[in-house]
Amino acid sequence: MAVSRNGFSLDDNEIRILVDLGLNLSQAKVYFALLNIGCSNARTVAKFSKVVRQDIYRILNELIELGLVAKTLDTPTKFDPVPLEKGLNILFNNRSKNMSEMHRKASMLLKKFQGKQTYTNSTEDSRFELLTFNEKSEIAGTEVIDAAEINIKSITPWEFLRSILPIHFERYKKALKRGVKIQTLTDKPECESLPKQYEALVTNPLFEIICVPQLVTSFVIVDDKIVFIGAGTKHYGFGRSLISNDPPIVTLVREYFEMMYHKNVGAPSQKPTL
């Protein structure tokens, strides 16, 4: 049931629940706004969701494709949200399908990895190592940044990234002076900002932090030669990590990074907030 528009405000906790169920942040804001203000035109939805006007039709069409919003025949066109109970069922079902697909892809990756492992273990130059970050934390930070000569590409959870940014600030500066390109994808919430000292870094064309809606993995690639693959995203930085310089593994991880980067780099709402 819609509430009074005069008393409406975005609720970060409720929006976060919708994000956790699979919507990106802009989709969650638009659907949440419609649930509260009721059937409305695009201009009104943009106003109450606080999503920029140039993005609102694209996001509404995405919600229509998901089955969460219906378009009316009014002039101007209005957009009507499905009831929350039905919307949650749709999101649960989609998440279940996505999880099944992720399991399928993970199984394919495991088979490919196992198939390569026999070959690469017989190659003197290829190496696999399983380490615990809290035992060799320098591997995850200092040596990665200091050893880089060309680039550092990473997918890193914001919870871990924000804790290491101040620690490695000077190392990042030195790496950039060496001409090292640093690209990081992270799930930073819009309400949080980068440390102030990083204002100088984000103006450097070699330094990029791109915000993505949701992470399903975590890793660091150094110079396209060695990868540090985290055991997950929830406790990243405190659990185990697989290190490998095996070319097929490095290529697989690098291609995934490039896919995620090009998918997200163009979205204005996903630029980092200082």
The DSSP-derived string for 127-177 is: -EEEEETTTSHHHHTHHHHHH-SSEEEEE--HHHHHHHTTTTHHHHHHHHH
Whole-number Å distance between alpha carbons of 196 and 273:
10
In the predicted structure, residue 58 carries a pLDDT above the cut 80: yes
Please name the fold of domain 5-89.
Arc Repressor Mutant, subunit A (1.10.10)
- Residue 198 DSSP class: G
Residue ranges of the chain that CATH labels 1.10.10.10? 5-89
Quick: pLDDT tens for 64-90.
Answer: 999 999 998 888 899 999 999 999 999
Of 5-9, 96-100, 117-121, 231-235, the poorest mean pLDDT is in: 117-121
In the predicted structure, residue 272 carries a pLDDT above the cut 60: no
CATH of domain 123-270: 3.30.870.10
Whole-number Å distance between alpha carbons of 29 and 46:
10
Residue 40 bridge partners (DSSP): 79
In the predicted structure, residue 235 carries a pLDDT above the cut 50: no
Quick: pLDDT tens for 6-36.
Answer: 556 777 888 888 888 889 999 999 999 999 9
Task: Give the number of other Cβ atoms within 10 Å of residue 214's Cβ.
Answer: 12
Could you tell me the sign of the dihedral formed by the alpha carbons of 128, 134, 140, 146, in that order? Answer: negative
Whole-number Å distance between alpha carbons of 259 and 210:
13
Quick: pLDDT tens for 242-256.
Answer: 788 888 888 888 888
Whole-number Å distance between alpha carbons of 39 and 78:
6
From residue 58, alpha-carbon distances to 46, 87, 90, 271 in Å are: 12, 19, 20, 18
Q: What is the pLDDT of residue 157?
A: 82
In the predicted structure, residue 39 carries a pLDDT above the cut 90: yes
* Residue 127: band (very low, low, confident or very high) from pLDDT cuts 50, 70, 90: low
The residues near 112 (Cβ < 8 Å, ≥ 6 apart) are: 248, 252
Residue 221 bridge partners (DSSP): 153, 227
The pTM (predicted TM-score) of the whole model is 0.47
Whole-number Å distance between alpha carbons of 141 and 15:
33
Would you give the end-to-end CA distance of the chain in angstroms?
A: 37
Residue ranges of the chain that CATH labels 3.30.870.10? 123-270
Whole-number Å distance between alpha carbons of 117 and 232:
21
